C-alpha cells in the first residue's frame, strides 16, 4: 500500500474554517482535506445562534467593532477586529452564493437576531440550526470541486517540520518549515506521510478537555497540541469561554466525550430570563445589560448563584413568549428539550454553564500565517487577536470565514514568492511498538483529565487550584508517555495525548496571568491590572 501522498496544500479539518479555506485555495491550486471522522463531524455543525455581521441598515462597522472590543476586556487587537468586521458582510455573501439558506423575516429580508454583548440585532441565522445549514452548503460545494479531495477518517498525528526530518540542528526555533503532516488512516491503521507546500491547521476547539462541554467529541485540542509540539507560538490559552446556558441533565456523567446540549444565547436575545430555582430573577444584580451581558459575566453570575444556593442548576424562562413563536424560532431546541421531557413553551429550562470555546490559540498574522513557514491556521484553533479575553457571541463563525479567506490569499502569495523545496521525509517509524491491549487505561486517564480541568481550571480559579491541576496533569502525562512509546498509534491514545497537552497549555497560560480579566478569573488576583498595558500570554515549546 502507498503510504505517501503529495499535494500543494494540505488542510487539516472539515469545519467552516477548513472547508471555506479549501474552496478559496482551490481557485488557484489543488488541495487535500483530511478530517478525523466524517466530513460533517465538527463544532460548526452544531452552531445554533448564527453569524454576527453588519447587515442591517441601522447597524454600523463602528458599533460591531466597539461591541467586540468591549467584550474582549481590553485585550483585542483592534486591527484584527476591524478586518473581521469590515470583511464580514462579503464573506456572508460568499456563503449565500454557494446556496446557504439563512432565515428571512416576513418582509423578505434576513431575520437578524440579537445576542449577549451586541448593541443591536445583527446575527444572521438559519433558525437555530445555523451551523448545520452552513456546513451542508460548504460540503456540497467542496464535494463538487475538481481541485479538492476530502479524506475522511484520516487523523492528523503531527506536523512535519525539521524536527521529524532530523534537520533540527540547522534551524532556529523561529525559522522552521512545515511540509505537511503524518496522518493515521483509521480504516487501514497505516500512518501516511502527506507532504505539502503549505498546510492549513483548521482543527477547531478543545472543549473536550473539560467534563461538561457543548463541544462534540472531535474537540480534543489536536491542532493546539500539534502546533505546540511543532514549536508554534501560542497565545491567551487561559481564556476558555464557558457558555452560560447548557441544558442541565441529571445523572449525565460526560466522562466519555459526551456533549452537553446548548440552549442558544439567542433564546435570551429573544427575551429569555435567568432565574434561580426559587424563581428569583438575578441578572440585574450583576450587570446593567442583565441577561444580555457578555458571556463571562453571565457565566460567573450563574456560578455565584449556584455556589450561594447549593443548587445544581438555574432556570432559563421563555414561557412568557407565544408558543408558536418559540417553536418557529427554535425548533431544534424545542424538540430536543421536549424529547427530554421539558416543554419550553410551558416550563423553564434547567441550565448550567459548560466549556464552549477557546479564545486563544495558535498565533497568526493578518494573512493567517503562523511563525512556522508554510503553516497557516484559521478558525477556533487560532489566536487572531479578535476575541481578546472574551469572545463576543457569534463572532466565531465570522472570524473563521474571514481568516480562512485570508489564509488563501496568504498561501497564494507564499507559493508565488518562495521556492519551496521539500526534503526527503522519513516514513513513520513504529518499530518496537506493540498493539495496545489495555485501552481501559486510556479511558480512565481521559476521564481524569476532564474531571481535573473541571474542578481546578474552571470559571473561578486560584493559585492553589492551578498548581494542583498542573501536578495531576503531569502525572497523567508521564503515564500516557510511557504507554505511547511502546504502543502502535490508534485514535484514542492520540486524542488522550492531545488532551493532556492542551490541558498543560491552558494551565501554564493561566498560571502566567497575575490578574483577573475577561474569562480568566482568579481569587488570588481578583482585580484587572489597569496600571500596566494589557498583555497577551504567549507561550512556545522550546524543545520541539
Ligand atoms: P470545527 O468546526 O470544530 O472543525 C474542526 C475540524 O477539524 C473537524 O472536521 C474535525 O474532525 C477536524 N479535526 C480535528 N482534529 C483533527 C485531527 N487530528 N486530524 C484530522 N482532522 C481533525 N459560533 C458562532 O459564531 N455562532 C454560533 O451560533 C455558535 N454556536 C455554537 C454552538 C455549539 C454547540 C458549539 C460547540 C459552538 C458554537 N459556536 C458558534 C462556535 C463555532 O461553532 C466554532 O468555533 C466553529 O464552528 C469552529 O470552526 P472550525 O472550523 O475552526 O472547527
Ligand atoms: C449560541 O447560540 O448561543 C452560541 C453562539 C456562539 O457560540 O457564538
* Core vs surface per residue 396-407: b (16+ CB within 10 A) or e: bbbbbbbbbbbb
Q: Given the CA of residue 35, which atom of ligand 1 is nearest to it?
A: 21
Q: Is 315 in the pocket of ligand 1 (CB under 6 A)?
A: no
Looking at residue 255, its pLDDT comes to 63
* Contact call for residues 223 and 378 (beta carbons, < 8 A): no
- Cell (9 digits) for 286: 450583576
Predicted confidence band of residue 1 (pLDDT cuts 50, 70, 90):
low
Query: What are the catalytic residues?
Result: 295
Predicted confidence band of residue 441 (pLDDT cuts 50, 70, 90):
confident
pLDDT at 242 over 60: yes
**Measured in angstroms, how far is the CA atom of residue 206 from the centroid of ligand 2?**
16
CATH class of 248-353: alpha beta
Q: For 181, list phi and psi in degrees, rounded to 5.
A: -155, 155
pLDDT at 457 over 60: yes
**Measured in angstroms, how far is the CA atom of residue 376 from the centroid of ligand 2?**
26
Pocket test for ligand 1, best of 12, 13, 222 (most atoms within 8 A of CB): 13
Q: Given the CA of residue 220, which atom of ligand 1 is nearest to it?
A: 15
Pocket test for ligand 1, best of 102, 134, 203 (most atoms within 8 A of CB): 203
Q: Return the ligand number nearest the Cα of 268.
A: 2
Q: Given the CA of residue 396, which atom of ligand 1 is nearest to it?
A: 25
Mean pLDDT of 435-441: 76
pLDDT at 413 over 80: yes
- Tell me which residue has its CA closest to atom 1 in ligand 2: 264
**Torsion angle (degrees, nearest 10) of CA 264, 267, 268, 271:** 180
* Core vs surface per residue 243-282: b (16+ CB within 10 A) or e: bbbbbbbeeeebeebbbbbbbbbbbbbbebbbbbeeeeeb
**CATH architecture group of domain 439-528:** Up-down Bundle (1.20)
**Measured in angstroms, how far is the CA atom of residue 83 from the centroid of ligand 1?**
21
Looking at residue 167, its pLDDT comes to 62
Q: Is 21 in the pocket of ligand 1 (CB under 6 A)?
A: no
Looking at residue 65, its pLDDT comes to 98
Predicted confidence band of residue 254 (pLDDT cuts 50, 70, 90):
low
Q: Given the CA of residue 156, which atom of ligand 1 is nearest to it?
A: 19
Predicted confidence band of residue 438 (pLDDT cuts 50, 70, 90):
confident
Q: Is 225 in the pocket of ligand 1 (CB under 6 A)?
A: no
pLDDT at 316 over 60: yes
Looking at residue 40, its pLDDT comes to 84
Distance (Å, rounded) from C-alpha 500 to C-alpha 453?
Answer: 10
Q: Round the average pLDDT of the chain to a whole number and report it.
A: 95
* Contact call for residues 353 and 246 (beta carbons, < 8 A): yes
**Measured in angstroms, how far is the CA atom of residue 165 from the centroid of ligand 1?**
31
Distance (Å, rounded) from C-alpha 113 to C-alpha 269?
Answer: 7
Burial tier of 217 (Cβ tally within 10 Å: 0-12, 13-18, 19+): middle
Predicted confidence band of residue 256 (pLDDT cuts 50, 70, 90):
confident
Q: Given the CA of residue 130, which atom of ligand 2 is nearest to it?
A: 2
pLDDT at 170 over 60: no
Looking at residue 185, its pLDDT comes to 97
pLDDT at 453 over 80: yes
| Strands 4-12 and 190-201, bridge-based pairing | parallel
- The model's pLDDT over 342-373, given as tens digits with 9 standing for 90+, comes to 999 999 999 999 999 999 999 999 999 999 99
Looking at residue 473, its pLDDT comes to 98
**Measured in angstroms, how far is the CA atom of residue 152 from the centroid of ligand 1?**
16
Residues 6+ apart with CB under 8 A from 292: 114, 115, 116, 117, 118, 268, 269
- Cell (9 digits) for 419: 521556492
pTM above 0.85, yes or no: yes
**Measured in angstroms, how far is the CA atom of residue 264 from the centroid of ligand 2?**
6
Looking at residue 258, its pLDDT comes to 84
Looking at residue 2, its pLDDT comes to 76
DSSP string, 26-42: TTTS-EEEEESS-TT-S
Looking at residue 440, its pLDDT comes to 83
Distance (Å, rounded) from C-alpha 286 to C-alpha 298?
Answer: 8
**Measured in angstroms, how far is the CA atom of residue 50 from the centroid of ligand 2?**
7
Q: Is 47 in the pocket of ligand 1 (CB under 6 A)?
A: yes
Pocket test for ligand 1, best of 135, 204, 269, 386 (most atoms within 8 A of CB): 204
Spell out the domain ranges in the chain. 4-239+359-417, 248-353, 439-528
Q: Is 182 in the pocket of ligand 1 (CB under 6 A)?
A: no
DSSP 123: E
Weakest mean pLDDT among 165-174, 222-231, 268-277, 375-384: 165-174
Weakest mean pLDDT among 9-23, 158-172, 231-245, 436-450: 158-172
Mean pLDDT of 374-403: 98
* Contact call for residues 377 and 355 (beta carbons, < 8 A): no
How many other CB atoms are there within 10 angstroms of residue 535's CB atom? 14
* Contact call for residues 457 and 206 (beta carbons, < 8 A): no
How many other CB atoms are there within 10 angstroms of residue 21's CB atom? 32
Distance (Å, rounded) from C-alpha 530 to C-alpha 202?
Answer: 34
**CATH architecture group of domain 4-239+359-417:** 3-Layer(bba) Sandwich (3.50)
Q: Return the ligand number nearest the Cα of 207.
A: 1
Q: Is 157 in the pocket of ligand 1 (CB under 6 A)?
A: no
Predicted confidence band of residue 339 (pLDDT cuts 50, 70, 90):
very high
* Contact call for residues 381 and 227 (beta carbons, < 8 A): yes
Which residue(s) pair with 17 in the sheet?
none
CA distances (Å), origin 501, targets 181, 239, 369, 466, 476:
18, 16, 22, 15, 11
CA distances (Å), origin 118, targets 38, 112, 250, 385:
34, 12, 32, 19
- Cell (9 digits) for 501: 497537552
Pocket of ligand 2 (CB under 6 A): 48-49, 264-266, 393-394, 396
> Which of these, 522, 245, 535, 521, lies nearest to 388 by C-alpha position?
535
> Which of these, 293, 295, 275, 266, lies nearest to 103 by C-alpha position?
266
DSSP 392: P
Amino acid at each position: 500500500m502507498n503510504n505517501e501522498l503529495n499535494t500543494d496544500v494540505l488542510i487539516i479539518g472539515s469545519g467552516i474554517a477548513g472547508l471555506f479555506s479549501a474552496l478559496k485555495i482551490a481557485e488557484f491550486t489543488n488541495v487535500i482535506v483530511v478530517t478525523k471522522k466524517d466530513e460533517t463531524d465538527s463544532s460548526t455543525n452544531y452552531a445554533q445562534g448564527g453569524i454576527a455581521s453588519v447587515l442591517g441598515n441601522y447597524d454600523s462597522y463602528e458599533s460591531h467593532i466597539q461591541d467586540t472590543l468591549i467584550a474582549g476586556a481590553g485585550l483585542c487587537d483592534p486591527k484584527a477586529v476591524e478586518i473581521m468586521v469590515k470583511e464580514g458582510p462579503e464573506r456572508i455573501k460568499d456563503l449565500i452564493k454557494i446556496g446557504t439558506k439563512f432565515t428571512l423575516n416576513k418582509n423578505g429580508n434576513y431575520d437578524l437576531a440579537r445576542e449577549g454583548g451586541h448593541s443591536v440585532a445583527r446575527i444572521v441565522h438559519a433558525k437555530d440550526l445555523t451551523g448545520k445549514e452552513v456546513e451542508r452548503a460548504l460540503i456540497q460545494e467542496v464535494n463538487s470541486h475538481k481541485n479538492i479531495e476530502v479524506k475522511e477518517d484520516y487523523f492528523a498525528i503531527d506536523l512535519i517540520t525539521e524536527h521529524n526530518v532530523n534537520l533540527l540542528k540547522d534551524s532556529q526555533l523561529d525559522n522552521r518549515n512545515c511540509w505537511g503532516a503524518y496522518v493515521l488512516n483509521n480504516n487501514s491503521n497505516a500512518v501516511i506521510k502527506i507532504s505539502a507546500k503549505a498546510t492549513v491547521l483548521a482543527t477547531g476547539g478543545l472543549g473536550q478537555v473539560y467534563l461538561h462541554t457543548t463541544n462534540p467529541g472531535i474537540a480534543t485540542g489536536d491542532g493546539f497540541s500539534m502546533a505546540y509540539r511543532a514549536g508554534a507560538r501560542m497565545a491567551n490559552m487561559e481564556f476558555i469561554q464557558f457558555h452560560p446556558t447548557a441544558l442541565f441533565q441529571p445523572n449525565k456523567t460526560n466522562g466519555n466525550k459526551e456533549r452537553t446540549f446548548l440552549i442558544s444565547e439567542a433564546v435570551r436575545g429573544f427575551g429569555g430570563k435567568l432565574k434561580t430555582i426559587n424563581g428569583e430573577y438575578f441578572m440585574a444584580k450583576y450587570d446593567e445589560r442583565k441577561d444580555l451581558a457578555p458571556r463571562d459575566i453571565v457565566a460567573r453570575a450563574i456560578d455565584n448563584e449556584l455556589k450561594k444556593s447549593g443548587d445544581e442548576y438555574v432556570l432559563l424562562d421563555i414561557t412568557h413568549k407565544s408558543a408558536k413563536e418559540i417553536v418557529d424560532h427554535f425548533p431544534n431546541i424545542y424538540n430536543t428539550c421536549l424529547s427530554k421531557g421539558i416543554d419550553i413553551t410551558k416550563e423553564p429550562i434547567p441550565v448550567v454553564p459548560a466549556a464552549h470555546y477557546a479564545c486563544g490559540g495558535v498565533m497568526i498574522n493578518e494573512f493567517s500565517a503562523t511563525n512556522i513557514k508554510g503553516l497557516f491556521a484559521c478558525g477556533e484553533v487560532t489566536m487572531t487577536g479578535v476575541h481578546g479575553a472574551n469572545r463576543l457571541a457569534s463572532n466565531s463563525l465570522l472570524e473563521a470565514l474571514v481568516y480562512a479567506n485570508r489564509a488563501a490569499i496568504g498561501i497564494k502569495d507564499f507559493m508565488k514568492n518562495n521556492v519551496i523545496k521539500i526534503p526527503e521525509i522519513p516514513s513513520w517509524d513504529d518499530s518496537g511498538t506493540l498493539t495496545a491491549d489495555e485501552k481501559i487505561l486510556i479511558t480512565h486517564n481521559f476521564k481524569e483529565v476532564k474531571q481535573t480541568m473541571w474542578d481546578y481550571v474552571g470559571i473561578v480559579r486560584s493559585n492553589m487550584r492551578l498548581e494542583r491541576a498542573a501536578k495531576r496533569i503531569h502525572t497523567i502525562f508521564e503515564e500516557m508517555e510511557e504507554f505511547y512509546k511502546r504502543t502502535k498509534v490508534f485514535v484514542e491514545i492520540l486524542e488522550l495525548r492531545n488532551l493532556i497537552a492542551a490541558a498543560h497549555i491552558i494551565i501554564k497560560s493561566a498560571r502566567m496571568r497575575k490578574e483577573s480579566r475577561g474569562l480568566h478569573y482568579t481569587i488570588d488576583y481578583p482585580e484587572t491590572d489597569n496600571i500596566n498595558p494589557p498583555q497577551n500570554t504567549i507561550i512556545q515549546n522550546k524543545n520541539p
